[in-house]
Amino acid sequence: MDMYGANVFNDYTMKRRLPPDTYTALRKTMQDGSKLDNSVAVVVAEAMKDWAIELGATHYTHWFQPMTGITAEKHESFFTPTADGRGSAKFSETALTQGEADASSFPSGGLRATFEARGYTAWDPTSYAFVRGNTLYIPTAFCSYSGEALDEKTPLLRSMQALNKEALRIMKLFGNDTKSVKPTVGAEQEYFLIDKAIFEKRKDLVYTGRTLFGAKPPKGQELDDQYFGAIKPRVRAYMKSLDEALWKIGVPVKTEHNETAPAQHELAPMFTTTNIATDHNQLIMEIMQSTAKEHGMICVLHEKPFGGINGSGKHNNWSLSTSEGTNLLDPGETPHENAQFLLFLLAVIKAVDEYQDLLRISTASAGNDHRLGAEEAPPAIISVFLGDELMAILDAIESDEPYARGGDAMMKIGVTVLPSFPKDTSDRNRTSPFAFTGNKFEFRMVGANMSIAKANIVLNTAVAESLRQFADTLEDEPDFNAALQALIKRTIREHKRIIFNGNGYDDAWTQEAKKRGLLNLPTTPDALPYMLHDKNVELFERHKVFTKNELCARLEIRLENYCSLLNIEAVTMYKLAKKDILSAAAAFTRELSETAAAKQKFLPEADCSYERDTILRLSELSAELHKKVSQLYSCLGFAEGKKDELTKAHYFKDAVLPKMEAMREIADELESMIARNHWPFPTYGDLLFSVR
């Protein structure tokens, strides 16, 4: 209890460290986003500095989330020389609220012309500052000189503002004068732990985060003996260190268990406001990796590090909370609460249906393409799982028929109480990308390696748009309940195609989804161009989340990123095949040939069938691999020549990736034939069972 939040400038600390009026002003800014007065910032900065120094801080940093997917920090010391030749610690209000960071080395997608390399960081007072090591971390947003967002946090905050505005209109219609509505998020994080010494012998893992070769081990996840299994002592020691590091900086980690695949684990924090949850998830990923190293391990966050073994994702649990702490996706007990619940529920369903493409895009990456649709993660088709009971209620409302379990009465919105429906706990339906789990939605397509910001920006903005349309329809209606009933019925009718309660891994679903007109965007290059479709640009511009310029920049960055990643993978594969695998095959062939020759000489009637057959197959496979290596090389040359990034991305997907897969198949067969002492790197078995 002493440890939790000990290094956070949280409410408890603020109350003790700040004069009452300063505290009240800062609280107000945090709660309703009002502007912070400069005179308040002066007092806050001074108090924060003294507090941080007591905890051993010598430096401070504006901590931000550029479009690289990871966080960035530049440390400044508090130290300022004084006129008498000594030094003092200074931290001004401008140092707290504003920073300047050279933006030229961060991706900007052309937003930052080279003559204007400056980027600005601005304090996000809604996310607490904290001390890590010798540094005071100040969570900030990162913008260009002209105010365009260069990071993930700025659009996330903008989307929260849009959602708050539209949700408050709806709350008002229900006679509710809540001060704010904020999206809440709890992100469950999956990861692998591999022994560091063994990991480092796999250059594919080192350079690309995933294995590009590797024959299946004799034991994988077939026995289902890892999920929720007893945690190995070394992993338990790791989790303890991780918990402590995260608790100190106020990340409320709560749940830890083994996941499905060998060496795979999961961590889940308690949910909180979305921008804080996003900051926390970035810290979780970073500290997971640094703590692993302290324990002689590597934490692998790639979405699909091992072929044939489950990959890692992130479950983005999402709901809406009022300033009084009411969960708006909780059905409640009165007719009034039920009606409000149904409207918010349908706002989400409508949002997911209308912006399937954007949700898909928010989870698209080269790494996640290997995971989505691989029978371990939801398919690339977006659908919503509601469970049979809630579905039956919606059906009854739509068709004006009594709900079977609710007696004979028909449901009059705002008048009758929803029949209590059991939460679908028995069927957690792991196959659904977007599942309602009783009082929140769980978006399961996000990759383990990604910032959750993108997914939440889309969710918040799309739901804001549904709510805006609902409010436009309902405001000024003389008979609110009748208008509400009609709106709810219409929304169910128009958007129920997105609801699917069956098995998402089934091929039949792919066919059915096509019939329903749902999008199926299997890969990143398929999905990304949808970003600039008119309806999507309109959505983001209307809610002031992204300008068209900012969207163009983001598309550019993501396409570039996709191509660079695949290029690194291909080059790594090329080198490993040429330098390590082919030479191992040659050496083993030679050993076998010499053995056979010696055997023949010593004992002519000895059977040399093993040597002969193996040499024959090794030669065939080596020749085939050799050919594929040259083909891959020329492919990369062609890719280089492609003019625009989208054509290039498609070329990588359609020409380069299949070549890589073909190479892998050959190499994996070679691995199964070549003697252990000749094989150049640790096998899947070595990697996956490396931590005991």
Query: Which residue ranges make up the site for Mg ion (CB under 5 A)?
Result: 315
121, 159, 164, 184: which one contacts ligand ADP (CB under 6 A)? 184
CA–CA dist 396, 421 (Å, integer): 13
Write down the least CB distance from residue 58 to ligand ADP, Å.
35
Residue whose C-beta lies closest to ligand ADP = 186
Distances, alpha carbon 413 to alpha carbons 40, 175, 339, in Å: 47, 16, 6
Binding range to ligand ADP, per CB under 6 A, among 183-191, 341-349, 377-385, 447-455: 183-191
Q: Among 311-319, 369-377, 608-616, 682-690, which window interacts with ligand ADP (CB under 6 A)?
A: 311-319
Residue with CB nearest Mg ion?
315
Per-residue H/E/C for 73-119: CCEEECEEECCCCCEEECCCHHHHHEEEEEHHHCCCCCCCCCCCCEE
Tell me the sheet residues that pair with 317: 186, 442
H helical segments located in 233-334: 233-248, 274-294
Among 120, 271, 530, 546, binds ligand ADP (CB under 6 A): 271
Nearer of residues 439 and 473 to ligand ADP, judged by Cβ: 439
Distance of CA 228 to the CA centre of its chain: 23
Find the shortest distance in angstroms from Cβ 185 to ligand ADP. Answer: 5
Nearest approach, Cβ of residue 254 and ligand ADP (Å): 7
Q: How far is the CB of 356 from ligand ADP (least distance, A)?
A: 22
Residue 631 lies near ligand ADP (rule: CB under 6 A): no
Asked if 69 is part of the footprint of ligand ADP (rule: CB under 6 A), the reply reads no
The correct pick among 186, 214, 307, 387 for binding ligand ADP (CB under 6 A) is 186
- The answer for residues whose C-beta is within 8 angstroms of residue 359's C-beta and 6 or more apart is 352, 382, 434, 443, 445, 455, 458, 459, 462
SS3 442: strand
Least distance from C-beta 426 to ligand ADP, angstroms? Answer: 12
Q: How many residues bind ligand ADP (CB under 6 A)?
A: 14
Dist. CA 199–CA 684, nearest whole Å: 11
| DSSP labels, 141-193 | EEEETTS-B-BSHHHHHHHHHHHHHHHHHHHHHTT---S-EEEEEEEEEEEEE
Closer to ligand ADP by CB, 181 or 366: give it: 181
Region near ligand ADP per CB under 6 A, out of 164-172, 268-276, 381-389, 533-541: 268-276
Residue 185 touches which of ligand ADP, Mg ion, none (Cβ within 5-8 Å per kind): ligand ADP
**Based on CB atoms, which residue is closest to ligand ADP, 423 or 497?**
423
Task: Give the residue with the Cβ less far from Mg ion, 188 or 353.
Answer: 188
Q: How far is the CB of 458 from ligand ADP (least distance, A)?
A: 16
Least CB distance from residue 266 to ligand ADP, whole Å?
9
Contact status, residue 546 vs residue 157, Cβ threshold 8 Å: no
Q: Are 163 and 461 in contact (CB under 8 A)?
A: yes
Residue 327 engages ligand ADP in binding (rule: CB under 6 A):
yes
- Among 71, 319, 589, 683, which residue interacts with ligand ADP (rule: CB under 6 A)? 319
Candidates 264, 317, 466, 485: give the one binding ligand ADP (CB under 6 A): 317
Q: Which of 687, 671, 683 minimizes the C-alpha distance to 262? A: 687
Nearer to Mg ion, 59 or 315 (CB): 315
Within 10 A of 676 (CB to CB), how many other CB atoms are there?
A: 7
Q: Is 441 helix (H, G, I), strand (E, B) or coil?
A: strand
How many residues comprise the chain?
692
Q: Give 17 or 430: the residue with its C-beta nearer to Mg ion.
A: 430
Instruction: Give the residue among 480, 478, 471, 472 at the shortest CA–CA distance from 413.
Output: 480
186 binds, among Mg ion, ligand ADP, none (CB under 5 to 8 A by kind): ligand ADP
In the bound state with ligand ADP, the residue whose beta carbon lies nearer, of 440 and 648, is: 440
Nearer to Mg ion, 205 or 372 (CB): 372
158 interface partner picked from ligand ADP, Mg ion, none, CB below 5 to 8 A per type:
none
Which of ligand ADP, Mg ion, none is residue 319 near (CB under 5 to 8 Å by kind)? ligand ADP
Query: Amino acid identity, residue 190?
Result: E
Of the pair 129, 185, the CB lying nearest ligand ADP is at 185
For position 185 contacting ligand ADP by CB under 6 A, the verdict is yes
Measured CA to CA, the distance from residue 131 to residue 60 in angstroms comes to 9
For the CB of residue 253, give the shortest distance to Mg ion in the complex, in Å.
15
**187 versus 691: smaller Cβ distance to ligand ADP:** 187
Give me the half-sphere count of Cα atoms (radius 13 Å) on the Cβ side of residue 504.
30
Report how far residue 52's alpha carbon sits from residue 129's, in angstroms, rounded to the nearest whole number. Answer: 10
627: number of Cβ within 10 Å: 13
- Under 8 Å between Cβ of 667 and 577: yes
Rounded least distance, CB 311 to ligand ADP, Å = 18
User: 113: how many CB neighbours lie within 10 A of its CB?
Assistant: 11
Report the phi/psi class of residue 52: left, alpha or beta, with left for phi > 0 and alpha for psi in -120 to 50: alpha
Binding footprint of ligand ADP on the chain (CB under 6 A): 184-186, 188, 268-271, 317-319, 327, 439-440
